[in-house]
Amino acid sequence: MTELERQGAQAKAAARVLAVTGTEQKNRALEAIASILEERAEEWLAANREDTDAAKAAGISPALLDRLTLTPARIAGIAAAVREAAVLPDPVGQVTKETVRPNGLSIRQVRVPMGVIAIIFEARPNVTVDAAVLCLKAGSACILRGGKEAIRSNRKAVELMREAVASAGLPEDCVSLVQSTDRETARELMHLEKYVDVLIPRGGPGLIRSVARESSVPVIRTGEGVCHVYVDKAADLAMAAKILFNAKCSRPSVCNAAECVLVHRAVAKAFWEQALPLLDEKNVALRADEEALAVLGERASAAEEADWDTEYGDYVLAVKTVSGVEEALDFIALHGTGHSECIVTEDPAAAQTFLNGVDAAAVYWNASTRFTDGGEFGLGAEIGISTQKLHARGPMGLEEITSWKYVVRGSGQVR
């Protein structure tokens, strides 16, 4: 047995206990986690300083350094988020369907925990706690595998969480960290189907694609977002400009930000008159097709083929001219990642065609793609945005990280 197999077996055993643990005890464990993170924040900060010192020495970018850094205020925020998870309704045990068959069998479909959830993620140490806490509340054990930049912070966070979980009378193996950050161990985790029920990668598109390709453990793909805003010929152009500006600029690094605007040729000139002043505020770079270049002139540069499939995560926007809803749908079918897509129009028929025809987790009529988020959808905390069609699609809250089983009660029925 390898070290990771041992860890998997321990997580599986812990998951069996956690699966039949009541809501109150799980909430006590969450409260214990929030408390220990606050009370022993100094230890966590010290571990984090070692990570940030090493990262600085290695010449990490300021943006990444910022994401890696913990502060007392950030720890307070993390602890508050843990307490918020405690008050969310427990999905486990919810009856999702119920029927009594003519032969008297009572059949209930009941939500049950997933079992063991593995999460492979990149540098932010808050993800370590978020992910563990959501899994715990949903009745599943988790195996966390973070990036090497945050390894000291993650070790300390997991050490503290295990202590807290044990203090609430639950097996400490409900939460564990993969100790090695090398690729080989990550790959081994992707083939640990004997113990791991689902694997959720959180990070850049490269990470997610390679995990989806390699893993024999079932994967939920999250957060690949090449999102489009389509400005229809019947759009309220002021609204369209405002929505595009928000979708592109309110937080360009996140997956629900827009990367490409599709503009109906009949309104292109009038639209850009409204949109450019807004985009100029953030110096958004425009990568335009030939027809749009003719309108935008020197304000834009020529798009290359690769632009249509790029998640910039920055103040850069691809611009494509289209002849109507159908061409927009074709373009999105070819280049979208199934995350969030938007039409701006006052024409209900065009809107309906778009809403029906787009194959994505979320499709918007006259609203920003930035709303694709667990909190904005009213699900509470989320563990990611699923961009696949199996099991969960869109923001994944507690329900989305559970499974179901059928519980059948009889009185001796045979078939």
Q: Does 355 bind its own copies (CB under 8 A)?
A: yes
Contact window for its own copies (CB under 8 A) among 24-32, 60-68, 238-246, 305-313: 238-246
User: C-alpha distances in angstroms, 7 versus 1, 3, 12, 222?
Assistant: 10, 6, 9, 25
Block residue for tokens 């024409």: 347
User: In terms of C-beta density within 10 A (0-12 exposed, 13-18 middle, 19 or more buried), how is residue 71 classed?
Assistant: exposed
Count the neighbouring beta carbons within 10 Å of the beta carbon of residue 278: 16
Contact window for its own copies (CB under 8 A) among 3-11, 151-159, 222-230, 363-371: 363-371
Q: Are 262 and 328 in contact (CB under 8 A)?
A: yes
Annotate each residue in 107-146 with x if it binds its own copies (CB under 8 A) or - if it does not, as one string.
x-x--x-xx-------------------------------
Which of 87, 95, 294, 408 contacts its own copies by CB under 8 A? 408
CB of 117 to its own copies, least distance (A): 10
Of 315 and 377, CB closest to its own copies: 377
Annotate each residue in 245-284 with x if it binds its own copies (CB under 8 A) or - if it does not, as one string.
xxx--x----------------------------------
Q: Does 403 bind its own copies (CB under 8 A)?
A: yes
- Tokens representing 274? 């409204």
Of 92 and 150, CB closest to its own copies: 92
CB of 12 to its own copies, least distance (A): 8
Of 59 and 378, CB closest to its own copies: 378
Of 26 and 156, CB closest to its own copies: 26
> What does DSSP say about strands 258-264 and 285-288: parallel, antiparallel, or unpaired?
unpaired
CB of 28 to its own copies, least distance (A): 20
CB of 413 to its own copies, least distance (A): 4
Helix, coil or strand: residue 259: strand
Q: Does 243 bind its own copies (CB under 8 A)?
A: yes
Q: Does 413 bind its own copies (CB under 8 A)?
A: yes
Q: Does 361 bind its own copies (CB under 8 A)?
A: yes
User: C-alpha distances in angstroms, 276 versus 40, 265, 286, 301, 307?
Assistant: 50, 16, 10, 14, 20
Nearest to 14 by CA among 158, 122, 89, 117: 117
Of 71 and 253, CB closest to its own copies: 253
Q: Are 317 and 276 in contact (CB under 8 A)?
A: no
d(Cα 289, Cα 304) in Å, to the nearest integer? 8
CB of 29 to its own copies, least distance (A): 19
Q: Does 105 bind its own copies (CB under 8 A)?
A: yes
Of 324 and 357, CB closest to its own copies: 357
Q: What is the DSSP secondary-structure string of 235-289?
A: --HHHHHHHHHHHHHS-TTSTTSEEEEEEEGGGHHHHHHHHHHHHHHTT-EEEE-
Helix, coil or strand: residue 222: strand
Helix, coil or strand: residue 348: helix
d(Cα 363, Cα 343) in Å, to the nearest integer? 8
Which of 363, 381, 396, 398 contacts its own copies by CB under 8 A? 363
User: Which residues, 313 to 352, sit near its own copies by CB under 8 A?
Assistant: 333
CB of 320 to its own copies, least distance (A): 19
Size of the site for its own copies (CB under 8 A): 68
- Tokens representing 403? 């499974």
- Tokens representing 72? 């007392």
d(Cα 374, Cα 125) in Å, to the nearest integer? 20
User: Which residues, 208 to 237, sit near its own copies by CB under 8 A?
Assistant: 212-213, 216, 218-220, 236
Q: Are 171 and 17 in contact (CB under 8 A)?
A: yes
Which of 242, 265, 282, 299 contacts its own copies by CB under 8 A? 242
Nearest to 11 by CA among 158, 111, 121: 158
Q: Where are the alpha helices (DSSP H) in 58-182?
A: 62-68, 72-87, 125-137, 151-167
Q: Are 311 and 255 in contact (CB under 8 A)?
A: yes
Q: Does 377 bind its own copies (CB under 8 A)?
A: yes
Q: Does 94 bind its own copies (CB under 8 A)?
A: no
Contact window for its own copies (CB under 8 A) among 82-90, 168-176, 266-274, 376-384: 376-384
Interface ranges with its own copies (CB under 8 A): 16, 19-20, 99, 101, 105, 107, 109, 112, 114-115, 193, 197-198, 212-213, 216, 218-220, 236, 239, 242-243, 245-247, 250, 333, 355-368, 370-372, 376-378, 388-391, 393-394, 403-415
